[in-house]
Amino acid sequence: MKVYKFGGASVKDAQSVKNVAKIINQHAEGQLIVVVSAMGKTTNALEKLTEAYFSQNNNETDDIFNSIKEFHIGIARELFPENHVAFNTIEQRFYHLYYYLKEPPGKNYNFEYDRIVSTGEFVSTEIISHYLSFNGMKNQWFDATGLIITDANYRDANIDWLKTENAIKNRILSFFKKNASESNPIAITQGFIGGTNQGFVTTLGREGSDYTAAIIAYALKAGEVVIWKDVPGLLNADPKVFEKTRLLENISYQEAIELAYYGATVIHPKTLKPLIKKNIPLKVKSFFNPAGEGSIINQEFINDNQYPSYILKTNQVLLSIFPKDFSFIAEQNLSRIFSEFARAGIKINLMQNSALSFSVCFDEDKIKTPVLLKNLEKIYNLKYNKGVELITVRHYEKVNLSELLEGKEILMEQKNRTTFQWVVKKRQPVIN
């Protein structure tokens, strides 16, 4: 049994949907569960729709709604003959959303968000399920609200593992049992979405579809999860930022967690935990080149230091905190500082202390940062730089560091056996 996950970029237009069907057809042996995200940038568009609806901007709501609906119908027109039943399914999905948007919103923004934004995954999986059937590929569409059972923490829902495991086993395994005579039965469901005990739709946080694939694999103890992407596999740096990137053919779960922690965006950080628990390998492959090897993440760590990995985080704040009474930065001050960070909901990316100061680097946030600074200012003297960068290099031994840091002014650096990090700002040109 395998779990395949296709993200937004892999289903961004009709041609891509055809490619996904081809991959499923050619590469699946045995039982397959397919997890799919919303098409292209639909989730972003639905977020805008939620904002327009919540602020009761009716014209904007209608405009965004129409363009999202048209986008999906346009794709369907290229996939199906006129009058195909897929058009009724799409119409129905948008009909429900249309009438939902005509009612005034409730007070809970996150609840409304999940109700509206989940439309992207629902309609995307409906189109793909119809397209697979249309091409003779036996499949069953599953509503993820009945598979991934969560609490009511809308927009960032937490999994109820026991109920989820039971629901997935009951529904998906009985589908496979019923279709035991089929050589390739396919179960298809939405990524990113769950449901409360009462049946209200929830979401698991942006980019949450990888996590869904891992949860399903965990519940069914699948043989592997494959995430299909527009890159050849896991790369040692973001190709949009760094010129020469290399494919990491095989890294350990631990290395992947470290990379995600330092800010590599290729895998949703929550994804690995359920896979580690059941020792399920995670593959990352290219949907442009399905025959390519891609990358594999598993228990093996012998190749972890084969290549250095580079991670760049921009838009950072470097804050230095000084006790007003010149007391040492010791336990009491530290616990006070940490609790202010926790209260503001800010995650620390790097920290360092001396006797009289504590320096912290974290992501700038228009809302959270001013709250933190205001609260800390009451007790401490502060100095800070905004708009700085955090560069992290894992396995830095063979890296030409002076080349990497050329033209940067180092504000802080930290090093351990595997990882080197710098907070830097671009050096101003010297004018004579």
Q: Which residues bind ligand ASP (CB under 6 A)?
A: 7-8, 37-38, 43, 120, 191-192, 206-209
- If we measure between CA atoms, which residue out of 366, 378, 361, 377 comes closest to residue 412? 361
CB of 267 to ligand ASP, least distance (A): 11
Longest dimension (CA), the chain: 81
Report, in Å, the least distance between residue 275 CB and ligand ASP: 16
Q: Which is nearer to ligand ASP, 113 or 192 (CB)?
A: 192
- The full DSSP string for 32-60 is EEEEE--STTHHHHHHHHHHHHHTT-HHH
Nearer Cβ to ligand ASP, position 192 or 358?
192
Q: How far is the CB of 43 from ligand ASP (least distance, A)?
A: 3
Q: Kindly state the smallest distance separating residue 113's Cβ from ligand ASP, in Å.
A: 12
Residue 358 Cβ vs ligand ASP, minimum distance, rounded to whole Å: 34
The DSSP code for 170 is I
Query: Cα 293 vs. chain centroid, distance in angstroms?
Result: 23
Nearer to ligand ASP (CB atom), residue 191 or residue 195: 191
CB 41 to ligand ASP: min, Å: 8
Sign of CA dihedral 370, 376, 382, 385: negative
Of 122 and 420, CB closest to ligand ASP: 122
In the sheet that holds 358-363, the strands lie side by side as 348-353, 358-363, 309-323, 380-394, 419-426, 408-415
Torsion (CA) 239, 190, 124, 59 in degrees, nearest 10: -90
Give min distance, CB of 5 to ligand ASP, in A. Answer: 8
What is the amino acid identity at position 99? Y
Residue whose structure tokens are 């109920």? 163
Closer Cβ to ligand ASP, 7 or 281, answer by number: 7
Task: Tell me how far apart the alpha carbons of residues 317 and 314 are, in angstroms, rounded to a whole number.
Answer: 9
Smallest distance from the beta carbon of 210 to ligand ASP, in angstroms? Answer: 6
Other CB atoms within a 10 A radius of the CB of residue 351 amount to 17
Nearest residue (CB) to ligand ASP, 300 versus 363: 363
Smaller CB separation from ligand ASP, 119 or 320: 119
Nearer to ligand ASP, 129 or 209 (CB): 209
Shortest distance, position 329 Cβ to ligand ASP, whole Å:
39
Using CA atoms, how far apart are residues 396 and 308, in angstroms rounded to an integer? Answer: 6
* H/E stretch holding 114: helix 109-117
Q: In a 10 Å sphere around its CB, with 0-12 CB exposed, 13-18 middle and 19+ buried, how is residue 81 labelled?
A: exposed
Q: Which is nearer to ligand ASP, 207 or 255 (CB)?
A: 207
Closer CB to ligand ASP, residue 38 or residue 280?
Answer: 38
Closer Cβ to ligand ASP, 43 or 286, answer by number: 43
The least CB distance from residue 370 to ligand ASP, in Å, is 27
Tokens for 346, please give them. Answer: 């800010």
Contact 8, 42 (CB under 8 A): yes
- Spell 228-254 as b/e; 16+ CB within 10 A means b: bbebbbbbbbbeeeeeebebbebbbbe
d(CA 306, CA 303): 5
The strand pair at 139-142 and 186-190 is best described as parallel
CA terminus-to-terminus distance, the chain: 68
Of residues 370, 372, 348, the one with CA closest to residue 360: 348
